[in-house]
A and B are shown apart, each in its own frame.
Chain A
Amino acid sequence: MKVLVPVKRVLDYNVKPRVKVDGTGVDLANVKMSMNPFDEIAIEEAVRLKEKGVATEVVVVTIGVPKAETDVLLTARAMGADRAILIATEDEVEPLAVAKLLAKVAEEEQPGLVILGKQAIDDDSNQTGQMLAALLGWPQGTFASKVEISGDRVAVTREVDGGLETVDLKLPAIVTTDLRLNEPRYATLPNIMKAKTKPVAKKTIADYGIDVTPRLKTLKVVEPAKRTAGVKVGSVDELVEKLKSLGVAK
């Protein structure tokens, strides 16, 4: 079974985003970009499935700037993906359009399973996996903390509001990863060197005949209302007084 893993290049999660003064977006010039953390977990899961002999091949795909080839796709291959597909574009592509492109890739590649991150930490949409599942007519196991394949089924344990729930899905299926699914491995230097020899297919959006015109127009981006530091109290008694004045304690 082939596993397809879509990945996204995003502002590194340790970097505090700065909103541009003209309100057009977040400043991404000269800041560290990395693979979306949820996508690293997706690759790790796919590679583990391969190591268990369940998956035969792990293919990663990204839609984004050509530079994504040297950073995120290299990391993905160094973590154990067999080959990569880069769909190059300078424009931002919305989850619906990403899902449509991925549906085309899935038709070509015929994976038994697609594993995506549950959300990208830049747009925080949490949509692409579900949309891809809808377009392909496949079942979805979102927010997965455990994935078990047996025969033509996959049991996915999902993180839901009240705790955990398990669903049984018919393959081919879509899984989106939650943080607790696994601990991604580091790409070691020898593996990074080796990864450079693994193939990358370079495509453009035009190759897939998908209209990616945005449906949402960003009118402005602003910083959220700032909270300011309040007062520090010196003792528990003062804190008790404060809680009483807030009406929390009697």
Chain B
Amino acid sequence: MKTLVWVEHDNSHVKDATLAAVTAAAKLGEVHLLVAGSGCAAVADEAAKIEGVGKVHLADDAAYGHALAENVAPLIAKLMDSHDAVLFPATTNGKNIAPRVAALLDVMQISDILSVEGPDIFTRPIYAGNAIATVQTSDKKLVITVRGTAFAKAATSGGSGTVEAVSGEGDKGISSFVGAEIAKSERPELTSAKVIVSGGRALQNSENFHSVIEPLADKLGAAVGASRAAVDAGYVPNDYQVGQTGKIVAPEVYIAIGISGAIQHLAGMKDSKTIIAINKDEDAPIFQVADIGLVGDLFKIVPELTEKL
């Protein structure tokens, strides 16, 4: 089976989420990549070095600059003439584009796969991760998004792919990119961090969030996450949100501070290797999944912990 993987990139480097999709694709067959963007030739060269990669299709055109689904989906649909499957990391770009490609090809997309059980059989979470469905597709072409935390990352070296330029229909003229507000952070990226320190509503306000959570995260070299309650209350921007509707993470260690552990939040972090919970309510649902729990006032515990580390 010839598979195509959408490369998630920032115009200079391949993003980690891509590497898990490459691993999933390799279970299906020969791996080709698509690097689409504007002025992204360097990304294609980097992508060609990913282990196990054959061809890298490079679509370098102003129309693909901001991954607008209207422009990119027809390009991918055309490449599917010579591929059997296309895989996307389940990033916001992947989720935005993949279904549009699937509809153009008249196939049902398989969202957020956790495993490849056969050439046409996959597992995926439903009901916020409270159930795992095994599904078999009857479609001839496969369109799949891959949960990044469910697959190992392919090595970024050792590959010897060849870069080949491709072109599509360019700008469809129905959408344009206006601008972005990207939150700046010097900490590791949430979805690829080994350690995550996450805060919830109990932090009470933005100042506390910054003064309590962040020093601990910095001490541990951790990324900072948040529950939906903390995001909705405006303590931190929404791209910090871990959960069914935010980011899905599976770090080595997840430290949940002042987070009760609603279903929606657990869906985003319950595959973490070790979960540590700090909460004053000993009946909080988070303690039912936590490997290590400490009951008490976070405003006393967390500064003391930061101090002692």
Residues of A within 8 A of B (CB): 11, 13, 16-17, 19, 26, 94-96, 99, 118-119, 121-135, 137-140, 142-143, 145, 155, 158-170, 178-180, 214-224, 227, 229-240, 242-243, 246, 248-249
Contact status B291-A216, CB under 8 Å: no
Residue in B131, B182, B183, B247 whose Cβ sees the most chain A Cβ within 10 Å? B131
- Cβ of B270 to closest chain A Cβ, rounded Å: 6
B177 to chain A, nearest CB (A): 6
Let me know if A133 and B100 touch, CB within 8 A.
Answer: yes
Within the complex, the shortest CB–CB distance from A129 to chain B, in Å, comes to 8
Q: Are A161 and B291 in contact (CB under 8 A)?
A: no
In the assembled complex, which residues on chain B have CB atoms less than 8 Å from the CB atom of A164?
180-181, 238
Give the residues from 223 to 244 in chain B that come closer than 8 angstroms, CB to CB, to chain A: 228, 232, 237-239, 244
Are B239 and A162 in contact, with the CB atoms below 8 A?
yes
- Is there contact, CB below 8 Å, between B176 and A236? no
| A170 pairs with B102, CB closer than 8 A | no
Cross-chain contact of B276 among A158, A234, A239 (Cβ < 8 A): A239
Q: Which of the residues B102, B180, B294 comes within 8 Å of A236, measured between beta carbons?
A: B294
- Counting CB contacts under 8 A, is B287 at the interface? yes
Name the residue among A26, A218, A230, A242 with the largest chain B CB count within 10 angstroms.
A230
Check A121–B174 contact: CB distance below 8 A.
Answer: no
- Which residues of the partner chain A approach B130 to less than 8 Å between Cβ atoms? 16-17, 19, 26, 223-224
**In the complex with contacts A17-B130, A94-B108, A219-B135, A231-B293 CB distance below 8 A:** yes
Q: Which 10 A-B pairs have the closest CB atoms?
A: A230-B291, A130-B99, A134-B103, A131-B103, A215-B108, A127-B99, A165-B180, A139-B175, A166-B178, A17-B127
26 A-B Cβ contacts within 8 A? A16-B263, A17-B127, A26-B127, A94-B108, A96-B109, A99-B103, A130-B95, A130-B103, A140-B175, A164-B180, A164-B238, A165-B179, A165-B180, A168-B178, A169-B174, A170-B173, A170-B174, A178-B245, A215-B138, A216-B108, A218-B133, A221-B132, A221-B134, A230-B291, A231-B292, A232-B295
Q: Does B166 contact A (CB under 8 A)?
A: no
- A residues near B91, Cβ cutoff 8 Å: 161
CA distance A233 to B282 in the complex (A): 12
Cβ A219 vs Cβ B103 within 8 A: no
Residue pairs across A and B with CB atoms within 8 Å: the count is: 256
B178 touches A96 (CB 8 A): no
How far apart sit A227 and B237, CA to CA, in the bound complex (Å)? 29
Q: How far is the CB of B88 from the nearest CB of chain A, in Å?
A: 12
Question: Are A125 and B111 interface neighbours, CB within 8 A?
Answer: yes
CB-CB under 8 A from B176, the residues of chain A are 167-168
Of B70, B103, B264, chain A has the most CB atoms within 10 Å of the CB of B103
A224 touches B132 (CB 8 A): yes
B86 at the interface (CB under 8 A from A): no
Known contacts A96-B103, A227-B289, A236-B294; is-contact A220 B134 (Cβ 8 Å)? yes
Taking the closest CB of chain A, its distance from the CB of B237, in whole angstroms, is 6
Closest to B130 in A: A17
Binds A, one of B35-43, B57-65, B301-309: B301-309
Contacts A131-B103, A249-B219 known; 10 new A-B pairs at CB < 8 A: A11-B127, A26-B130, A134-B104, A155-B178, A161-B93, A168-B177, A170-B174, A180-B232, A223-B132, A232-B292
